[in-house]
Every structure is written in structure tokens, then in C-alpha cells.
A = this chain, B = another copy of it.
Amino acid sequence: MADDFKFYTELIVRYEETDAMSVVYYGKYFVYFEVARTEYLKNIGYNYVNIERDGFYFVVAESNCKYFSPARYDDDLKIFAKIEYIKNSSFNFLYNIVKVEKGENKNGNSKGPDVNIAKGNTVLVCVDNVDFRPRRIPDYLRRAIQNFEGF
């Protein structure tokens, strides 16, 4: 399902994230995307806290999500993330959210295949954190992304 993703992070749906339909509110998936971005950057060696200290912000220029099946309270979710391309000042994150079936069957195998919940992307722009004007993505980060993704 998410074969070409080299990274994922996991989280458990909080009650606060559900709505009166008893499913995760559609806007909360963008929070899950953010969690995956943070952990993806840590995974390749960079902490966004430090990127901000270096004078940058990564602002979202565009975000999109398609919803396949509702997630619910206490579901175990995997958020797959990858960077699809990197330009001078912008880059595109792809995400794939799946629900992990809990427990095991009698043979010790997991109860079933993961369920597709949502997928989406966010285009991020590297900007100066004073005036919000586009800046070239720092080379150390560019190289780390290219090394990790292999492009």
C-alpha cells in the first residue's frame, strides 16, 4: 500500500480529534501530516526547531487530502511521508495514512491488512522568519533529503 515510502510515524487517535459523527474530523488529518513532517525531518537528522533558529520558517502554500475510510477514537494510525521533489525554495511532501488492525489471530498473524484512511500532500515554502519572503532551502537540508529519497 505504501511501498515507496521509506518513512512513517505512528500515532493513536485522540478523543479530541473526533467529532459528532464519531470519526476523526476532516481537518485533523492535516495535523497528522504535520506530525509526520516533524518526525521525517528528525529521521534524516534535522530538527525543525533548529531550522527556525537558523532564521527560516517552512510555510504551507498548498494542502490537499483525499479521504477513503473514517478513522475513529483510539485507532492506531501509520502516517507515511516522503518528499516528492525539492525546488529552490519549495518542496512537496506526500502522505499516506493507514489504520493498523489491532491484535493477532490464532496463528499469531495480524488480524488483517491495513486500511487506507487518507492520503494527501503539502507544498511547503522556505521563507525568512522575519518578513516571510522565500529563501533558498539550506543546502545541508537539501542534500539530506536527496540522500534519503535517492534523487
Contact between chains at B57 and A21 (CB < 8 Å): yes
Q: How far is the CA of A132 from the CA of B22 in the complex (A)?
A: 12
The answer, yes or no, to whether A104 is at the interface (CB within 8 Å) is: no
SS class of chain A's interface: helix, strand, loop or mixed? mixed
Contact between chains at B57 and A67 (CB < 8 Å): no
**What is the interface of chain A, defined by CB distance below 8 A to chain B?**
12, 14-16, 18-23, 25-28, 30-31, 34-35, 38, 47-49, 57, 59-67, 70, 72-74, 122, 129, 132
- Beyond the given pairs A18-B19, A47-B74, 9 more chain A to chain B contacts, judged by CB atoms under 8 angstroms and listed by A's residue number, are A14-B31, A14-B35, A23-B59, A26-B30, A26-B122, A27-B28, A27-B30, A27-B63, A61-B66
